[in-house]
Amino acid sequence: MAAEKQQTDMNRLIQDFERGRVQLGAIEAQSQQLTVQGQVLGEALKELKATKEKKVFKAVGNILILTDVKKVEKDLKDQKESADLRAKTVKRQEDAMLDKLNKLKAEIESAQKGKSAPEAGSEKSGDAE
């Protein structure tokens, strides 16, 4: 009966680990997307600052609108600030998920070692700390 509980716990840990890996992949993709978005906005801001024009075209849906450079620059700065803030938040989520996955991995390894040699598994975990 104890062996069944150990196997159930091991299966749960492995499932949690796999779910975490999938979540981490999604978080990494979102992080990369936000990083690229921030870079694109930064390049657009750089070009706006370099232009001597007073008005530029801004895409609004499927049309282009002639707009004041200062207004577009302010909008882009706000968008970049927002993207950078979201990127920092996602980075914290990524770090937290990595930490969680490392703990789950250690639990799984400990449980596997405990299955084959209970005393060796507990000595190892004592050495790690």
pLDDT at 8: 86
pLDDT at 31: 95
Q: How far is CA 98 from the centre of its chain?
A: 9
Q: Residue 101 has what DSSP assignment?
A: H
Residues 54 and 67: their CA atoms lie apart, in Å, by: 9
User: Domain limits of the chain?
Assistant: 2-117
pLDDT at 123: 42
pLDDT at 116: 63
Neighbouring C-alpha atoms within 13 Å toward the C-beta of 84: 10
Q: Which amino acid is at 64?
A: L
Structural contact between residues 24 and 101, judged by C-beta atoms closer than 8 angstroms: yes
Structural contact between residues 13 and 111, judged by C-beta atoms closer than 8 angstroms: yes
pLDDT at 122: 42
Helix (H, G, I), strand (E, B) or coil at 61: coil
Residues 25 and 23: their CA atoms lie apart, in Å, by: 5
pLDDT at 111: 83
Task: Flag residues of the chain having pLDDT under 70.
Answer: 1, 116-129
How many H-runs (helices) and E-runs (strands) does the chain carry?
3, 2
Is CATH 1.10.287.370 the right assignment for the domain spanning 2-117?
A: yes
Structural contact between residues 48 and 73, judged by C-beta atoms closer than 8 angstroms: yes
Residue with tokens 């492995």, as numbered in its chain: 14
Task: Look up the pTM and report it.
Answer: 0.73
